[in-house]
Amino acid sequence: MERVSVLKCNGYDRAETGRNIRQTLENLGGIENFVKKGDRVLIKANLLMAKEPEEAVTTHPSLVEALCREIVAAGGVPVIGDSPGGPFNKTVLKRVYRMTGMEEAARRSGAELNFDTDFVEVSHPEGKVIKRLKIMKCIADADAVISFSKLKTHGMMLFTGAVKNLFGVIPGLIKAEYHFNMPDIEDFSNMLVDVCTYLKPCLSIIDGIVAMEGNGPSAGRPVNMGVLMASPNPFALDYTAVTAAGINPQEVPTVCRAQERGLFSGRMEDISIIGSDLGKIKLKRFETPSIRAVPFLEGRMPEPVARFINSRIKAKPLFKLSACTGCGDCARNCPPGAITIMDGRPRVDLEKCIRCFCCQELCYNKAVEIYRPWIMKMVHRRKS
Ligand code: SF4
Ligand code: SF4
């Protein structure tokens, strides 16, 4: 039986988040279950980009602060870290920590902020699609890792929570190599599961107090969900989180891969919810993107024909020129180099595009939308 703490919360008031984090840890047996005296604990928050907490792109700093206080009280050394989208350097980190409120959270709680931008290559013989990984050095230096994610939609993976959050340990532009080498959703989601099975977070927490729906993970709408969830098993936690958001878990690639690999059964009956009633939290409506092409074509016609039709009707990035400043971030971060900036405007070569949607994820100005043809929307509507 997998234990998942579920707590109904009202907001990010610091006194209340302090109580909620303490209760969450108590629900799972106390902080001593996860942190020993003297442990260096890397808190892998979701710090995708330099956005203020109210935009719901990043893990809320009041929660991270509260967790750091508990780690300090247990005799551990909390370190807040992530490799945001784009280049991984001290200037970027400084800006991201300041804007996301992590600088203040660290100052108040006595936590360290990671500024080490080195990486190490590690071996993961049990990995299914990757046997070697390049990860941030601060992870290798830590005694324990806690995944502290934000509940959001995701253009390629549909949902980002405990497991997808850990992709951030792949430093800076090396992430693009992983996208380029694994453009297929199955391979990419297996790689995400590999990263998670390598890191073995001792605890995973999801900030779903204000979640993000729609065009996530950076350009969607904040939505009040009012829940804080945690578990020692990141796969069971993601399963619970998507269920609470009203998403069919079988549509989420990382959840499916975890089930196939026996990391979680995929049955709600195998989860012991501790705390609030999940039924009272469940959202009636949570807008998600459709991430696949047209699944019912598969197996009903020769594969090359299905592939040809799907390649013509699958989702693609669409640039909103009215919002675009021509900064070129999308071109610099496009894994196959499919974007060129001409006359200050991005142009995409759709033959080269692998539909990873990094351009949409990393555009600071929300100038990239994912265009889904009407047939995709109809299929999606039919299924939801
Ligand atoms: S689409 Fe976004 S990232 Fe790309 S050039 Fe325009 S503003 Fe920059
Ligand atoms: S254009 Fe956008 S979606 Fe296509 S490969 Fe580049 S970053 Fe990925």
Q: List beta partners, residue 371.
A: 316
The answer to whether the beta carbons of residues 218 and 56 sit under 8 Å apart is no
The answer on pLDDT for 298 being more than 70 is no
How close is the Cα of 358 to the center of ligand 2, in Å?
6
**Separation CA 70–CA 203 (nearest Å):** 13
Cα–Cα distances (Å) from 250 to 254, 258, 260, 297, in that order, read: 9, 11, 11, 18
Q: How does the average pLDDT of the chain come out, rounded?
A: 92
Identify residue 114 by its one-letter amino acid code: N
pTM of the shown model? 0.92
Probe target for ligand 2 pocket from 215, 353, 372, with the most ligand atoms within 8 Å of CB: 353
State pLDDT tens for residues 175-192: 999 999 999 999 999 999
Residue 383 confidence (pLDDT) = 45
CA distance 270 to 266: 8
**Mean pLDDT of the 220-227 span:** 96
Between the CA of residue 273 and those of 241, 277, 308, what are the distances in Å? 12, 8, 45
Would you call the peptide bond into 217 cis, given omega within 30 degrees of 0 as the criterion? yes
| Residue 295, pLDDT above cutoff 90 | no
- Residue 78's nearest CA partner among 108, 48, 117 is 108
For the beta carbon of residue 40, count every other beta carbon within 10 angstroms.
16
Taking phi over 0 as left and psi of -120 to 50 as alpha, with beta for the rest, 350 belongs to: alpha
- Counting atoms of ligand 1 from 1, which one is nearest the CA of 319? 1
Tell which atom from ligand 1 comes closest to the C-alpha of 327: 8
Tell me the residue type at 76: G
List the residue whose alpha carbon is closest to atom 2 of ligand 1: 363
Average pLDDT over residues 99-112: 98
pLDDT tens for each residue of 345-364: 999 998 899 999 999 999 99
Query: How many alpha carbons fall within 13 Å on the CB side of residue 106?
Result: 21
Per-residue confidence (pLDDT) for residue 96, from 0 to 100: 98
Q: Looking at residue 384, what is its pLDDT?
A: 39
**Which pair of structure tokens corresponds to residue 131?**
């046997």
- 3 state DSSP class of 85: coil
- Check residue 300 and give its pLDDT: 66
Q: What are phi and psi of 369, to 5 degrees?
A: -110, 160
297 — pLDDT class (breaks 50, 70, 90): low
- Which residue from 353, 368, 371 has its CB within 8 A of the most atoms of ligand 1, so it is best to mutate? 368
* 334 CB near ligand 2 (under 6 Å): yes
Sorted by sequence, the CB contacts under 8 Å of residue 56 that are 6+ apart come out as 150, 152, 210, 211, 212, 220, 222, 223
Helix (H) or strand (E) holding 109, with range, is helix 102-109
Q: Which ligand is nearest to the CA of 359?
A: 2
Domains parsed from the chain with CATH numbers: 2-281 (3.40.50.11440), 295-383 (3.30.70.20)
Lowest-confidence range among 35-49, 123-137, 190-204, 278-292? 278-292
Residue 273 has pLDDT above 90, yes or no: yes
Residue 47, helix vs strand vs coil: coil
If one counts every other C-beta atom within 10 angstroms of the C-beta of residue 293, the result is 22
Residue type, 107: R
Q: Which two tokens stand for residue 72?
A: 């300090």
380 vs 80, residue with greater confidence = 80
Report phi then psi at 372, rounded to 5: -120, 120
Is the pLDDT at 20 greater than 50? The verdict is yes
Cβ atoms of 317 and 369 within 8 Å: the answer is yes
Looking only at the bridges linking them, the beta strands covering 40-45 and 144-154 are parallel
Task: Give the tokens for residue 31.
Answer: 């902080």
Query: How many angstroms does the Cα of residue 368 sit away from the middle of ligand 1?
Result: 7
Any atom of ligand 2 within 6 Å of the Cβ of 176: no
Ligand nearest to the CA of 330: 1
Secondary structure element (H or E) that encloses residue 80, with its range: strand 77-81
Kindly tell me if the per-residue pLDDT of 382 is higher than 50: no
In this predicted structure, the answer to whether residue 337 has a pLDDT above a threshold of 90 is yes
For residue 178 the two structure tokens come to 């992983």
Q: Given this model, what pLDDT does residue 15 score?
A: 95
pLDDT > 60? residue 227? yes
Q: Which two tokens stand for residue 13?
A: 């008031």
**128-162 per-position pLDDT tens digit:** 999 999 999 999 999 999 999 999 999 899 999 99
Instruction: Please choose, from the candidates 48, 46, 44, 45, the residue with its C-alpha nearest in 3D space to the C-alpha of residue 358.
Output: 48
Q: Distance between the two ends of the chain, CA-based, in angstroms?
A: 29
Atom of ligand 2 nearest to the CA of 339: 1
Helix (H) or strand (E) holding 201: none
Confidence tier at 199 by pLDDT (50, 70, 90): very high
Q: CB within 8 A of 2, min separation 6: which ones?
A: 231, 232, 233, 236, 264, 270, 271, 272
